[in-house]
Amino acid sequence: MSNASNKATVVEGKATPRGKFPHIKRAGDFLYVSGTSSRRPDNSFAGAQADALGVTTLDIRVQTRTVIENIRDILQSAGADLSDLVETQAFLVNMNDFG
């Protein structure tokens, strides 16, 4: 395969990836989106707030919606969309958020 069909990309306007992970990796006709969260470009997290004492309040609905929007934006940067998704994998911190 040529380098044109194997490209890792960091998408402008999205939160900078932590570590050496790209937002999206193209391998031939396949796109792989990695490490997407509800993190915004300013490094704050949608659906996560902390009070003056540091007690956090998490909203799984807001976080999930933001993750999906981030994935959509990343896919669109490569000419794809959510309708092109084949598989997703989610990791939950609190199992009460499942179901």
- 2-44 pLDDT tens trace: 455 788 888 999 998 888 889 999 999 999 999 899 999 999 9
Q: Which of 52, 70, 64, 51 is nearest to 92 (CA)?
A: 64
- SS3 of residue 50 by DSSP: strand
Residue with the larger pLDDT of the pair 84 and 95: 84
- Quick one: CATH architecture of 3-88? 2-Layer Sandwich (3.30)
In whole angstroms, give the CA distance from residue 51 to residue 73. 30
Structure tokens at 37: 């969260």
Q: How many CA atoms lie within 13 A of 98 on its CB side?
A: 6
State pLDDT tens for residues 63-76: 999 999 999 999 99
> What pLDDT does 2 receive?
46
Per-residue burial over 33-63, b = 16 or more CB atoms within 10 Å of its CB, e = otherwise: beebbbbeeeeebbbbeeeeeeeeeeeeeeb
Confidence band (pLDDT; 50, 70, 90) for 90? confident
